[in-house]
Amino acid sequence: MSHREVVVLSVGGVRFVTRPSTLQQFPESRLARMLNDEDQEFKLVNGEFFVDRDGTLFSYIMDFLRTLRVSLPTDFSDYQRLQREAEFYGLYPLADLLSQEHLLKPRPEILEVRFSLQEMQAFFRIFGSCSTTVGTLAEQIAVFTGQQSGQSWNNPFPSQKPLVPLPLERPSHHDMVFQCGTDYSAGDQFVARYVSIKPDNRKLINGTNVLGLLLDTLLKDGFRLISTRTVSSEEKVECYSFERMQRPAGLTVMVNQTPGSSGLAPAKRSQVQKGK
């Protein structure tokens, strides 16, 4: 059977089409032996191998055979059932990875926005549990400074005078600090700070408008607002807490350079048999 260009499997009524080389990634597995008619559990019916097992879970097994990587949806919960399926097919390296359930489960990612409005200035501090997310958000946020006359400091659109970009303050990899509004005055001139958040191209000076755009950006990025609270009523500091499920990095099994071989399978099989 292994000389076929494609192999068709019907697992619990779900049809899969793949290459023989994919099923032969682990030669000692039952799927590899199936191609040589060495396992009677798999019945050949009308040119298709019929397997009376869970077809939905088998889709994750096929994904593993194609990528040698375990990457599961954030809402996946059937770790033990999938591990049993992997053991049934003799894919012990996969079963070994699934036993490390704590590494495969998604973890909550927390992001906190602190907002303070003081007269004509608004101050922002963003802290996140994931430094990569904070870094990505820092690339979206830009601060510009320029002069405005006293008559138009609260104009939502900047004057025609050129604006100078300012770097964001990054106290650590997990947080950033910036502000908007006016810093100080010199005669009838105000030094103003504008904030822009990609993909929105507007440059906003009003702190409330910037806060609304920032919260909307986070919601569109998959975060959900879990709480709001006043940190300091005297300093008018508000805190907005967000959460989203962070998908873990998939676990990968390394195979030997020889195609279709793995030194992990025999060792794991021995352990499983001893546990029976």
Lookup result for tokens 């100078």? 164
The structure tokens listed for 223 are: 């975060």
- pLDDT of 3 above 70: no
CA separation, residue 35 to residues 14, 95, 160, 231, 249 (Å): 19, 22, 73, 65, 32
- pLDDT of 148 above 80: no
The strand pair at 48-51 and 7-11 is best described as parallel
CATH architecture of 7-105: 2-Layer Sandwich (3.30)
Nearest to 34 by CA among 10, 2, 57: 2
Give the pLDDT of residue 29.
Answer: 94
Domain boundaries, the chain: 7-105, 110-150+159-244
What are the tens digits of pLDDT across the range 19-43? 999 999 999 999 999 988 878 788 8
Q: How confident is the model at residue 110 (pLDDT cuts 50, 70, 90)?
A: very high
Exposed, middle or buried: residue 133 (CB in 10 Å: 0-12, 13-18, 19+)?
Answer: buried
- Return the bridge partners of 238, or none: 115, 230
**Cα–Cα distance measured from residue 140 to residue 136, given in angstroms and rounded to the nearest whole number:** 7
- Which residues 6+ apart lie within 8 Å of 77 measured at CB? none
What are the tens digits of pLDDT across the range 56-77? 999 999 999 999 988 888 778 8
Q: How many distinct helices (H) and strands (E) make up the chain?
A: 9, 15
What 3-state class would DSSP assign to 108? strand
pTM for this entry: 0.60
